[in-house]
Structures are given as structure tokens and as C-alpha cells.
Amino acid sequence: MRYVGVEEELLLVDTDTYEPCAVSAAVLAMADRAGADDDIFQKELQGQQLEFATRPQSDMGALEAEIRSRRRESAEHAGRLGASVAALATSPLPVSPAISADERYRWMRREFGLTALEQLTCGCHVHVSVESDEEGVAVVDRIRPWLSPLLAMSANSPFWQGIDTGYRSYRSRVWGRWPSAGPTDVFGSAQRYHDHVAAMIATGVVRDRGMVYFDARLAQNHPTVEVRVADVCLDASTTVLLALLVRGLVETAAREWREGVPPLPVGAGLLRLASWRAGRSGLDDILIHPHTMTPGPAEAALEALLDHVSDALEDMGDLPLAREGMSRLLRTGNGARRQRELLRRTGDLKAVIADCVHRTQE
């Protein structure tokens, strides 16, 4: 059974005004005084963000319980400072992001200018254990066409600086401004992967391996493949569904590699278009089908994804849970749909954030 870990980035907002507030350093200090492990809560680029990481889990029930627990702990630490946490991938209200006090982040501010200054986005990263770098790169090569449906599922950022963007995941568009972000071509071997990363660092444009922002990469500090395409999900149950499917993708790809099945011959250019479409459409319009690279209903792309990983999920005992979660998500919608429905009902972006704070912390 492969282990799974999740990193979630949460938005810190003022409890009264619901405007983003740059208190992450104080929240981290509060967590430290409360005895939290050093590797659970982490600083991010902007002071209005707080990140937590789960422990590696093999059981999905345990993973969901830990995600909910970490969200509650984040809310408790922030609450002592007059702040709340919201699982929102962008701020619905206008905001002036504040770069965290860290030498690495100051370097990013100098090098990338407005791209770094405006980068107040919250994502969800899923780690799945692999046996070696060779297996990990084989997985990265084979899961590439299946990542855009994951973005569509998680889409939770329709608003930017007080404006409806027309996108379901505008975070993905803002994130794509980084020069190292996005889909990759097939590497073919661990050696070619590492050579490519070394060449990127040698340009001086990216500082180190941590700034190699591929949609899926070998993790820097763990023996895992890290999938980085998703918005932070409004509901923890969607995060668990995402983790289920990513583990299924990793196991399916590893089996294909061992059986000699080559990666699908799709270039990074087409994958970039599929990602754009997923960010634009979410679950509410067409997506690019991972097999045919042609447009079709979102539900068809998600059904293809579930079918692709069904054997692996069945072997792990996760297929009923995945089917139930997918059915629920298609019926109720993702965070972007809920945010827009709330705005139509209330006419108030603050009310949207208030509801999302409640859903994050419940």
C-alpha cells in the first residue's frame, strides 16, 4: 500500500472584516508555543498564508481525520490573534499581499517583481510514495494527461481582487506566471529528469530544486511523487477524493511502467491547453479528454479518469469510496461553484468568505 501525504495552504483572514491579514509568522509562533511538531505548520511566500502538512497515511479515513484536525488546529491558533482560516485558493476581496520575512522569499521578490508580489494563491499538494527515482520519473511521465481533470475537480478560485474572473480556478492562471511552472514533456529516465532540473538551476532563473514547479515532480525531501496542480479544496472530503485518485494514478502508472506500457505521446503544449481549459471550466463546462485530447463534457473526462485508475483502486479497497466521492462532487459541485452560488444569493463577497471560513473549520 502506497503512503499518501497532503499539504494544504490556507488563507488567513480577519475575523471581523474577512479581509486577508498577514499574521502567519505570529500564527506559527502560537503553534510552536502550543507544542506543534516543526514539520506540521509551515511558512509560505505571503504573510496571509498558512500551510500544514499531514503525516504519511495509508488509510484514507485516517488521512481525512488528520486533514480535519489540522484545519481545526490552524483555526484555533489563528483565532487567538483575531484571525480565521479559509480554504480558499484566492482571496475574493481585494488584497495587497505581504511577502514573508525570509531571505529566500526576499530573493524571489527581487528576481520576479510583480509576479512574486501578487502571488497570493493557496494550493493543495499530494505526495504518494514511490520505491525509487526511476519509478517516480516513470510515474511523472505517465500521469501527465490525467492531471487537468484533477484541477477541474479542485477548482476553488473564481474571484481575484474583488472581481469575478470568469474562471473556476484563477489560481492556476496566476501560478502559471512562474517560469518553471506547468506540464512537462516525457523525461524517459531519472537521469534525464535530474539533468533537466540541473540545467534549469544552472540558468540562474530558478534558485534551487524547490523552485522547480512542475505539475508533478519528484519531491525534494521525501521519496514521493508530488502532484501540485490542485487548488486548495473548500471541503476536506474533496481533498480526500483528490488524494485517492492521485494514489490510484501513481499505482496505475507504476504498473504500466513495469509492464512496458509507454507514456501517452502528448506534448507539453497540448497539456498546457488542457490545463487552461480545466481552470476555465472546472466542472461546469467542457474539458479536454485525457485520451483523445479533444473537448467533451466534464463528466466524461472524470469518468475516464476513474475508469483509468479503477483496477488500482479496487486492489487497494478504495474504489467504492472514490465512486461515492466522485458522484457527490459532480452532484454538489466544487468550491468555485459554491462561491458563485453564495454571491448570487447574498450579493456580498464578505458573506462568501464567512461561509467558507465556517466550512473550513467545521
The predicted pLDDT at position 33 comes to 87
pLDDT in tens, 251-273: 999 999 999 999 999 999 999 99
Whole-number pLDDT of residue 361: 87
* Over residues 31-42, mean pLDDT: 83
Q: What is the pLDDT of residue 135?
A: 98
The residues pairing with 106 across neighbouring beta strands, listed in sequence order, are none
Q: What are phi and psi of 169, to 5 degrees?
A: -125, 90
Handedness of CA 98, 180, 213, 202 (dihedral sign): negative
Grid coordinates given for 300: 466524461
Asked whether 159 and 338 are in contact (CB, 8 A), the reply is no
- Per-residue confidence at 101, pLDDT binned at 50, 70, 90? confident
Nearest to 234 by CA among 297, 170, 154: 154
Give the mean pLDDT of the chain. Answer: 96
Would you report the helix, strand and coil content of the chain in percent, each value rounded to 5?
Answer: 50, 15, 35
pTM of the complete model: 0.97
Q: What is the pLDDT of residue 34?
A: 82
CB 140 within 8 A of CB 236: no
What are the structural domains of the chain? 4-361 (3.30.590.20)
The length of the chain is: 362
User: Alpha-carbon distance 102 to 216, whole Å?
Assistant: 26
Which residues, including other chains, have CB under 8 Å from residue 169's CB and lie 6 or more apart? 89, 151, 152, 154, 155, 156, 157, 231, 278, 279, 282, 336
Least confident of 137-141, 154-158, 219-223, 314-318: 219-223
pLDDT tens readout for residues 65-76? 999 999 999 999
Residue 35 has pLDDT above 90, yes or no: no
Mean pLDDT, residues 274-293: 97
Averaged pLDDT for residues 24-47: 88
Question: pLDDT at position 224, please?
Answer: 98
| 143 has pLDDT over 90 | yes
C-alpha cell at 181: 511552472
Q: Letter for the amino acid at 119?
A: Q
- Taking the C-alpha atoms of residue 223 and residue 232, their distance in angstroms, rounded to an integer, is 23
**End-to-end Cα spacing for the chain:** 30
Q: Which residues contact residue 249 at a Cβ distance below 8 angstroms, ignoring those fewer than 6 apart?
A: 139, 143, 146, 227, 308, 309
Average pLDDT of the residues in 85-109 = 95
pLDDT surpassing 80 at residue 37: no
* E-strand stretches of the chain: 4-14, 41-42, 49-53, 83-86, 123-129, 159-160, 163-164, 216-218, 224-231, 286-288, 295-297
Q: What is the pLDDT of residues 182-229, one digit of tens each?
A: 999 999 999 999 999 999 999 999 999 999 999 999 998 899 999 999
All residues at 6 or more sequence positions from 117 whose CB lies less than 8 Å from its CB, including other chains: 97, 99, 109
